[in-house]
Structure 1
Amino acid sequence: MSQTHALSDDQVSLELKKMTAFIKQEAMEKAREIEIKADEEFAIEKSKLVRQETSSIDSTYEKKFKTAQMSQQITRSTVANKTRLKVLSARQELLDGIFEAAQKKLGDATKDNGKYEEILKNLALEGFYALNEKKVQVRVRKADVGAAEKGLELACKEYKEKTNKEIEASVDEENPLPEGIAGGLSIVGGGGKIDINNTFEERLSLLQDTALPSVRTTLFGKNENRKFYD
């Protein structure tokens, strides 16, 4: 016959305390696990958010940097272009001034009769060679008729010596050149259809076109941006 032993109150209390302690320990360990997992998830989420914000900041900074860089380039280019235009304008003003000064001095060549006759001779000779005709007319200002006749006489003589050809040149006094010009002459040939303008103004204009590159180089130096030359 088995015997049943009843637990005393102290024993029951002790057992309850043990069970309570066990449950509490289990709960604390579970809470610790939850806390560790939460901390890990928080760290992961925090790292993710930091990376996202860092990437966003980097992207914003890169956009702002590119915008600022482009703005700086535009400003630099604008300033460079304005400076270049000012330099070109100043250079052109200088060149225009040089040729304007030359224009004002064109008439000085007519003051010395002997030198002017030589100039008219050479201008006439140039026309003789270009026309290659036996008879031509020369037009000058009324004030230059005497000097032109002497110059033509010398020009015809030299032309014959150089080409072994006869040429007759006369001053067309019925159609003089305007008195307002500085000097020079025009040679008419081809039955009046060809007119070679060798006035001082025309020669200066031609010189301005042909000699301008050389004048620029002399004044301002070689243009490093220019790749091709005539």
Structure 2
Amino acid sequence: MNDVDVQKQIQQMVRFIRQEAEEKANEITVAAEEEFNIEKLQLVEAEKKKIRQEYERKEKQVQIRRKIEYSMQLNASRIKVLQAQDDLVNSMKDDASKELLRVSGDPFQYKTLLKELIVQSLLRLKEPAVLLRCRKDDVSLVEDVLDSAKEEYAEKANVHQPEIIVDSVYLPPGPTHRNAHGPFCSGGVVLASQDGKIVCENTLDARLEVAFRKKLPQIRRQLFGVVAA
């Protein structure tokens, strides 16, 4: 083999090696590009997942805030409704309390009522001796009916007539503009046993309070259609 043939063979080997190297380089480039694309896709998907999770988290927060705001507004509305209902009921009670003042405005009817209140209190206490307290303005009316009240009680209870001592300490007077914020009494009596352990408060205000409390569910039903819990 002469030099020319050797040179040709070497060139041919070089071309083969170069071709093989280029093919291998292309394979490496393609593999690297595929690996890069896969890794890039994985990174993109991971970022998408993070974005979706963050969006879902924020969406849940928004929903929770909306629910909280709605609940707060609903509670505030309920409180306003209940407050308006209470204001109306209390206004009715105040009107009824003002009407009580008319009861003591008629001396004849009020005297009869005082007697009935005294008899009722005696029947509740069933004591041989009691202390009676009334308004200062009502002392004369009370004294006028004491004997007939004791007699009626004795007949109903089948006992001796009790001793009734009219207390020198009086119940507060009726409400006026001057004592609008102070203690007041619209009328009636308070009876107690001599030792003070048993007390029967039979004032008009106390009876209104009892009646109002008893009738409150019915009042609410008639006004609002439901009974407040």
TM-score range, shorter chain: 0.7 to 0.9
* The structure with more radius of gyration: 1
Matched, 1:50 2:44: yes
Matched, 1:159 2:153: yes
Indicate the structure whose relative CO is greater, using CA pairs within 8 Å and at least 6 residues apart: 2
Structure 1 window deviating more from structure 2 (26-35 vs 144-153): it is 144-153
Q: Select 2:85's aligned residue among 84, 91, 94.
A: 91
| 1:73 to 1:86, Cα distance in 2 relative to 1, 3 A | same
Structure 1 window deviating more from structure 2 (72-81 vs 120-129): it is 72-81
- For residues 167 and 27 of structure 2, the distance between their equivalents in structure 1, rounded to whole angstroms, comes to 125
| Coordinate RMSD, CA, aligned | 3.5
1:133 positional shift: 2.0
Matched, 1:109 2:113: no
TM-score normalised to the size of structure 1?
0.72
| 1:44 to 1:131, Cα distance in 2 relative to 1, 3 A | same
Q: Select 2:113's aligned residue among 115, 119, 134.
A: 119
| 1:125 to 1:92, Cα distance in 2 relative to 1, 3 A | same
Q: Select 1:187's aligned residue among 191, 198, 207.
A: 191
Partner of 1:65: 59
Partner of 1:199: 203
The superposition leaves residues 89-121 of structure 1 with CA deviations (integer Å, 9 ceiling, x where unpaired) of 222222221121111110122345554344323
TM-score normalised to the size of structure 2?
0.72
1:15 positional shift: 4.5
Structure 1 window deviating more from structure 2 (94-103 vs 81-90): it is 81-90
- For residues 76 and 69 of structure 2, the distance between their equivalents in structure 1, rounded to whole angstroms, comes to 10
1:128 positional shift: 0.4
| 1:169 to 1:123, Cα distance in 2 relative to 1, 3 A | farther
1:17 positional shift: 6.2
- For residues 63 and 96 of structure 2, the distance between their equivalents in structure 1, rounded to whole angstroms, comes to 49
The superposition leaves residues 183-210 of structure 1 with CA deviations (integer Å, 9 ceiling, x where unpaired) of 2122244167765332222333444555
Q: Which runs of 5+ in 2 are unaligned?
A: 175-184
SS of residue matched to 1:198: strand
1:45 positional shift: 0.7
Letter paired with 2:121 = G
Identity, in percent, stands at: 36
- For residues 20 and 175 of structure 1, the distance between their equivalents in structure 2, rounded to whole angstroms, comes to 134
Aligned residues: 218
SS of residue matched to 2:60: helix
Q: Is the 8 A contact 2:115 2:146 kept in 1?
A: yes
Q: Is the 8 A contact 1:133 1:167 kept in 2?
A: no
Partner of 2:126: 132
- For residues 192 and 21 of structure 1, the distance between their equivalents in structure 2, rounded to whole angstroms, comes to 129
- For residues 167 and 21 of structure 2, the distance between their equivalents in structure 1, rounded to whole angstroms, comes to 133
Partner of 2:227: 222
Q: Which runs of 5+ in 1 are unaligned?
A: none
Q: Is the 8 A contact 2:131 2:194 kept in 1?
A: no
- For residues 172 and 66 of structure 2, the distance between their equivalents in structure 1, rounded to whole angstroms, comes to 58
Q: Is the 8 A contact 2:217 2:227 kept in 1?
A: no
